[in-house]
Structures are given as C-alpha cells and as structure tokens.
C-alpha cells in the first residue's frame, strides 16, 4: 500500500475497525463468554484449531469471537499466533493404537470386533430446525443431561484398544501395501513443498486444509471427475496421547492428549503386481471433524494415482488450492488498493481501442 496517497486514510481505517468491533460486540445482548463457545460450539472450535494447525481450545474460542464467527479468519488468527510461539519439544512418532476412543464406526461391516460405538452424532436424527422461540432452553438442557446420565453406571467400559478393520483385510491379502516414500516425516512448517511431495507432507497439508475445499475435491472424485469411490472401512474419534522425551531422564513420557478424527477408506480394487487388491486411503485431523478426515482419506488415495487426470489426483492442484488461509488471504487482497495496476490496464485498453479504430 506504499503507493496509496489518500489524505486521512489512517483515520478512516481506524473508524472502520471501530465499526467492525461495534457490530461484533452487539448492543443489547450479554457479552459472549469463551466458556460458552467452548461448550456449545465445540465443532467450530475444533475446525478452527485444525485449519489453524494449533491445538489451543481457549485461543480458538477467542479467535472465533474476535472474528465474529468467520471460520476462515479464526483459523488465520490461530495460524498467525502459532508462528510466534517457540518450539519447546517434538512429539515422538506414534500410531493410533492407543487412541482413547469415544466414537468408532464402520460402514464396510455390520459386526466388527469391538462393536460399533456411535458416540455423539446427529447422523441418525432428522435435520429439523428448532423454531420454537418460547422453548425453555435451561429446562431442556437439564432434561437431556438427566437422560444421558441415567443408568450410566451400569454400562460396560470401553476397551482400551480396538482391532482395526483394515488389519483383517490385510491378513487376507485383500489390501494394497502402501510403501512409505519418506521414513522421516516431512515438516511443512519448516520446509516448502515441492512436487511430487512425499506422502507425509501431503497428509500434513491436508490435515490443516480447509474442510470445504477438501470436501469439494473429494466429492469431485466420487462423482466421476476421478476414480475413487470409497467405502468407510473405519472411522474413529478420540483422544491421542502425546509422548515426548523427558529432558532429564531421556525416557518417553505422556504430556497430554489431543482430540483427533481418523478415517480409513477402501476403494475399488486394482491389479497390484498382477493380483487384485483393494486400494486404501488414510486421513487424520485435529479435533472432531469427520467430513474432513473422510475427505482426506479419499484425497490420499487420489494423489497416489500414477497418471493423474483430474484435479483431485493432481498433487499440486489439490494441495495448493485446499489451504483455506492461503486462498482466503489471496482473495481478500483484491480488496486492497490496486489503483496503479488498474490504471495501467485501463491505459493499455484505451490504446488498444484506438489502434482497433484506426484499422477499422
């Protein structure tokens, strides 16, 4: 904006910021507390954390409040804040076998070892908007709490571990072997992406990609602009332990846990080394975001296509265009002054028109 010569520009910008804050804070309602956002909008908090690449629920709630509910802006605020934080340690690579599961389903098999754990989901209810403005929300909340907690003491505890559905397919030789092309995880926050990107880099980029963008690309493949039409072998929602090396003892220790959603999808079988096998895709993202994890699984398989012929199969297209913060930032920059650029375009257009008229 160095070329913008507008008298009083600073005052106008300050007034615009004041108006935005006035509109966000409201006039008659009580101020929105962070606890309300954390407890009553948990999926919005999880989505902001996942796309911002930072597990910090209170900060995510703060970002949502500051952005007036704009999920793009909230994720932007979180990722910018994350860039200012020091790196104190690195977690040890780990599998998800120790995931503390709160929801686990499979659409591939009716009866799976460990059982289907529906958990908290609106998937099996009618999507009806609650229109009664006179409903006593406090009374309803107390009623729901009583229903959920009634008889909870008689339930069997969930097992510590669940067998993986895909492991049964692997034992029968029905699943492709996905060779690792990068034994050391690629860190996209420290190294720029280059293509073809290793699988760990692709999964990292997808994990903090914009949910709607991943859904669009994955859906395009299932509708015919690609070759992956998946079946959900297994999806898990739970809490994953974080292990680091103790700075004194040098032993691995658990320092906490983070909520994650994991999805493993299988698609049509293909001839691998002459023997037909199912193809597999994997997705894991921060927080409770099932649509994103499933979309990741589809895109993971899409981007392993040797001869890409659709947007979802092209690594560069999919990864560069599914980062919501990058896309939002570039789109928003068009709102900034482009007077010099446009005047140059306008001047060239006028000269072109003069030349056309002279030839006519």
- The DSSP result for 244-274, as a single string, is EE-TTT--EEEEEEEEEEEEEEEEEEEEETT
Structure confidence by residue, pLDDT tens digits, 43-55: 999 999 999 999 9
Structure confidence by residue, pLDDT tens digits, 76-88: 999 999 999 998 8
pLDDT band at 306 (very low <50, low <70, confident <90, very high): confident
Those residues with Cβ within 8 angstroms of residue 285's Cβ, 6 or more apart along the chain or in another chain: 50, 206, 207, 208, 260, 261, 292, 293, 296
Q: How far apart are CA 312 and CA 310, in angstroms?
A: 6
Q: Order across the sheet with 231-245: list the strands.
A: 100-105, 231-245, 252-272, 275-286
The predicted model scores a pTM of 0.88
Provide the β-strand partners of residue 256: 242
* Torsion angle (degrees, nearest 10) of CA 273, 274, 277, 283: 30
Q: How far apart are CA 304 and CA 280, in angstroms?
A: 10
Q: How far apart are CA 295 and CA 339, in angstroms?
A: 40
- 132-160 average pLDDT score: 73
Length of the chain: 360
Position 134 scores a pLDDT of 57
Mean pLDDT of the chain: 87
State the CB neighbour count (10 A cutoff) for residue 277.
19
Token digits for 214? 């991943």
């Amino acid at each position: 904006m160095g070329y913008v010569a507008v008298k009083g520009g600073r005052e106008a910008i300050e007034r615009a910021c004041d108006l935005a804050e006035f509109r966000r804070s409201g006039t008659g309602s009580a101020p929105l507390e962070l606890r309300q956002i954390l407890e009553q909008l948990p999926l919005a908090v999880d989505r902001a954390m996942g796309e911002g690449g930072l597990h910090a629920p209170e900060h995510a709630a703060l970002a949502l409040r500051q952005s007036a509910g704009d999920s793009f802006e909230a994720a932007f605020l979180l990722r910018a804040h994350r860039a200012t934080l020091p790196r104190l340690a690195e977690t040890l690579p780990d599998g998800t076998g120790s995931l503390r599961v709160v929801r686990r389903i499979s659409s591939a098999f009716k009866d799976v070892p460990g059982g289907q754990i529906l958990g908290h989901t609106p998937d099996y209810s009618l999507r009806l908007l609650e229109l009664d403005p006179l409903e006593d929300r406090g009374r309803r909340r107390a009623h729901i709490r009583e229903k959920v907690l009634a008889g909870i003491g008689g339930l069997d505890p969930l097992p510590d571990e669940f067998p993986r559905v895909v492991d049964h397919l692997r034992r029968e030789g029905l699943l492709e072997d996905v060779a690792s092309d990068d034994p050391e995880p690629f860190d996209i926050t420290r190294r720029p992406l280059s293509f073809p990107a290793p699988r760990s880099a692709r999964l990292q980029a997808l994990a903090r990609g914009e949910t709607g963008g991943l859904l669009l690309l994955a859906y395009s493949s299932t509708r015919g602009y690609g070759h992956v039409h998946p079946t959900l072998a297994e999806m898990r929602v739970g809490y994953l332990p974080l292990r680091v090396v103790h700075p004194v003892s040098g032993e691995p220790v658990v320092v906490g846990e983070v909520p994650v959603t994991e999805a493993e999808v299988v698609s049509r079988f293909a001839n691998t080394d002459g023997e037909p096998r199912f193809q597999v895709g994997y997705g894991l993202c921060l927080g409770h975001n099932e649509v994103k994890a499933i979309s990741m699984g589809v895109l993971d398989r899409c981007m392993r296509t040797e001869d890409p012929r659709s947007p979802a199969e092209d690594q560069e297209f999919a990864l560069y265009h599914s980062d919501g913060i990058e896309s939002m930032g570039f789109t928003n920059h068009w709102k900034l002054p482009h007077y010099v650029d446009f005047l140059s375009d306008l001047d060239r257009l006028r000269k072109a028109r003069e030349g056309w008229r002279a030839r006519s």
